[in-house]
Amino acid sequence: MNRQEKIGSLIGDIGIPILGFFFWNWNIYFICLFFLLDQVSKEVSGMIRMQSIRERVKLAPQARIIHVVSFVLCLIAVHFYVYQLNPKMNFLKEINDFFWFEDMGIAQGFILIPLVLFSERLRYKMNTKLFTDEMHIKHWRHHTVQVIAYLTLFLSLSIVLTFVQMSETVSFLCLLTGFTAITLFTDELSPFFPR
C-alpha cells in the first residue's frame, strides 16, 4: 500500500469513526457498522478485481479459503465484541437506527452508503487502470492480512472484556488504536501470506 492509500485509509478507518463518536453521538456498534460497510465494499471490489484476472493469475486454493473464512469470522467477531460490551444490544434495532440516524436533517444511511460505495468504485477504477496483475495480487493479499488483523483485534478486545469492564470511550480508544496500527503496519505481514 503506497503512502496516498495509507492516508486515504487512515481518513476512512480512523477519521470518520472519530467524528462519529465525538461529534455525531455514534455508539460503538454504529462505528462497527460503518467499519463493516467499508469492509464489505472492499471485499466486493476485491473479488471483482480478482475475478477479472483469474485467467492470467492462479491463486492458491488455501489463500482463497483463508480469505473467505477470515472475513466471515471477522463479521462474527465484531458482533461478539459488541455483545461483550453490551449484552442487551438489539442488533436489528441498532442497524435500523444507524441507517435512519439524523444529524443534519437527513438519514445518514442515504449519505454514508453511497459515499462508501462511490469511494470504493473510484478506487476500483483507478486500480484497474494502474495495477499490473502482480499488483492486484499484492493488494488482495494485503487486504486478507488486514482482515486477519481485524479479526485478531476484535477477538482480543472480546477476551479483555470478559475480564475487565470498559467504558464505551475506553473501548472506542482501544478500537481506534487497533485500527491505526493495522492500517500502518499490515504491509510488513503481507509477504508471509500464501499467494
Global pTM reads 0.87
Render 67-118 in DSSP notation, one character per residue. HHHHHHHHHHHHHHHHHHH-TT--HHHHHHHHHH-BSSSSBTHHHHHHHHHH
pLDDT tens digits, 137-162: 888 888 889 999 999 999 999 999 99
β-strand partners of 107: 102
Q: Return d(Cα 146, Cα 165) in angstroms, integer.
A: 27
pLDDT tens digits, 76-132: 999 999 999 999 989 999 999 999 988 767 888 888 888 888 888 888 888 777 777
Q: How large a percentage of the chain has pLDDT more than 90?
A: 37
Q: From the centroid of its chain, how far is CA 28?
A: 14
